[in-house]
């Protein structure tokens, strides 16, 4: 019976790890296939897959060695990167026409999630309280930087983390997060297809800018004409009328689902959904405590929502951060396999 624990845990981890290898492998192969058929530049997608993979591996290692210190360091690094790197801070010089506010929002949400994970991984009440204050500090930093979306996303992650502190069944909550992400994607798709009430569409255009909505409509038009293989990776900017009208456009539709659907066809957006589903599945099977898992799930869902309405995933730092947080929340700390005396020696 004593050896059943490790064996059971090994079987528990085979499923998510095997699924991750399969999903990420196909995500890397499909843009090469579409590029060969349609032309284009698959390097951007390959870099994103590599960034997620590297971040996930680093998170698994860091979470196993330092279950509290590693996510705490990740949170501080995310905030430091947001403050120190000009291209991740919203400001007049980089916001036209759409800017990099989405990357800033995503980094702040991930940083808040990492701080919450560190807090729930800590056993000492004083340390937990201090780390929750760190998460609150991330939210305050967003306000100081003038990032309203970052403030809202960080606060939402923190509130969700506090709400799930006593939750024991993670499955229903993770399912709810999946539905929320799918719902936002559905709304974006409906807005692009003019399938929402006129007043609601006008309200969204006022908040998201008519330029962004125009990019979405161009992307959906490409999906309708090239649903199978898309127009080719990286070719949206060449074929989009709205993008071509702006000399400052970055050539992206500012919506990850619509970009993949336009450039890689229906299969591309399905693979994006499978990648997010794999992350939630890995969290569901994670050996970490449920509050840690659900805090990471809330932050990753916030990232999915941000990516649905912006170009956050175009930034390597954001992709690495998402993979890192997922790896931290799915790792198995070595202290859990050690005896009581060794567990007490681990710095929390």
Q: How wide is the angle at C-alpha 50 spanned by C-alphas 47 and 53, nearest 5°?
A: 150
Question: What pLDDT, on a 0 to 100 scale, did the predictor assign at position 86?
Answer: 55
Number of domains, the chain: 1
In the chain, which ranges are E strands? none
Phi and psi torsions of 166, nearest 5°: -110, 10
Contact yes or no for 304/276 (Cβ under 8 A): yes
Of 18, 54, 39, give the one whose Cα is nearest residue 327.
Answer: 54
Q: 287 and 332 in contact (C-beta within 8 Å)?
A: yes
Would you state the pLDDT for residue 4? 44
Please count the other Cβ atoms lying within 10 Å of the Cβ belonging to residue 113: 36
First-to-final CA distance of the chain: 30
Domain of residue 244, residue span? 4-345
* pLDDT score for 93: 39
Give the pLDDT of residue 264: 95
pLDDT at 245: 77
| Lookup result for tokens 């808040």 | 112
From residue 307, give the alpha-carbon distance in Å to each of 35, 159, 184, 258. Answer: 23, 21, 10, 10
Residue 142 near residue 108, CB atoms below 8 Å? yes
pLDDT of residue 88: 56
Encode burial over 190-201: b for 16+ CB neighbours within 10 A, e otherwise: ebbeeebeeeee
pLDDT tens track of the chain, all 348 residues?
334 444 445 555 678 889 999 999 999 999 999 999 998 899 989 999 999 999 999 999 999 999 999 999 999 999 998 888 755 544 433 444 445 678 889 999 999 999 999 999 999 999 999 999 999 999 999 999 888 999 999 999 999 999 988 888 999 999 999 999 999 999 999 998 888 888 887 887 778 888 888 899 999 999 999 988 999 998 988 888 887 777 667 778 999 999 999 999 999 999 999 999 999 999 999 999 999 999 999 999 999 999 999 888 988 999 999 999 999 999 999 876 654 443 433 333
Residue 343 has what pLDDT?
40
Residue 33 to residue 39: CA distance in whole angstroms: 9
């Amino acid at each position: 019976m004593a050896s059943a624990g490790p064996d059971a845990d090994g079987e528990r981890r085979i499923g998510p790890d095997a699924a991750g290898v399969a999903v990420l492998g196909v995500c890397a192969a499909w843009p090469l296939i579409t590029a060969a058929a349609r032309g284009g530049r698959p390097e951007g997608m390959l870099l994103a897959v590599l960034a997620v993979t590297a971040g996930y591996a680093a998170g698994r290692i860091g979470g196993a060695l330092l279950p509290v210190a590693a996510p705490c360091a990740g949170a501080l690094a995310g905030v430091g990167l947001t403050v120190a790197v000009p291209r991740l801070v919203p400001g007049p010089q980089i916001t036209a026409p759409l800017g990099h506010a989405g990357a800033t929002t995503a980094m702040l949400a991930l940083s808040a999630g990492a701080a919450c994970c560190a807090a729930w991984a800590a056993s000492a009440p004083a340390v937990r309280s201090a780390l929750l204050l760190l998460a609150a500090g991330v939210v305050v930093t967003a306000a100081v930087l003038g990032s309203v979306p970052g403030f809202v996303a960080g606060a939402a992650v923190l509130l969700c983390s506090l709400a799930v502190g006593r939750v024991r069944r993670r499955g229903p909550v993770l399912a709810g997060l999946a539905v929320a992400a799918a719902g936002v994607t559905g709304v974006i798709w409906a807005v692009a297809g003019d399938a929402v009430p006129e007043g609601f569409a006008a309200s969204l255009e006022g908040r998201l800018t008519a330029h962004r909505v125009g990019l979405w409509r161009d992307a959906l038009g490409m999906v309708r004409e090239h649903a199978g293989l898309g127009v080719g990776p990286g070719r949206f900017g060449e074929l989009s009328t709205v993008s071509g009208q702006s000399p400052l456009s970055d050539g992206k539709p500012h919506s990850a689902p619509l970009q993949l659907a336009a450039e890689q066809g229906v299969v591309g957006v399905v693979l994006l959904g499978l990648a997010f589903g794999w992350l939630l599945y890995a969290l569901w099977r994670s050996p970490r405590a449920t509050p840690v898992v659900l805090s990471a799930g809330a932050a990753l869902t916030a990232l999915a929502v941000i990516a649905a309405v912006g170009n956050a995933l175009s930034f390597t730092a954001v992709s690495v951060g998402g993979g890192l947080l997922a790896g931290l929340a799915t790792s198995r700390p070595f202290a859990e396999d050690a005896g009581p005396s060794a567990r007490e020696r681990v710095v929390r």
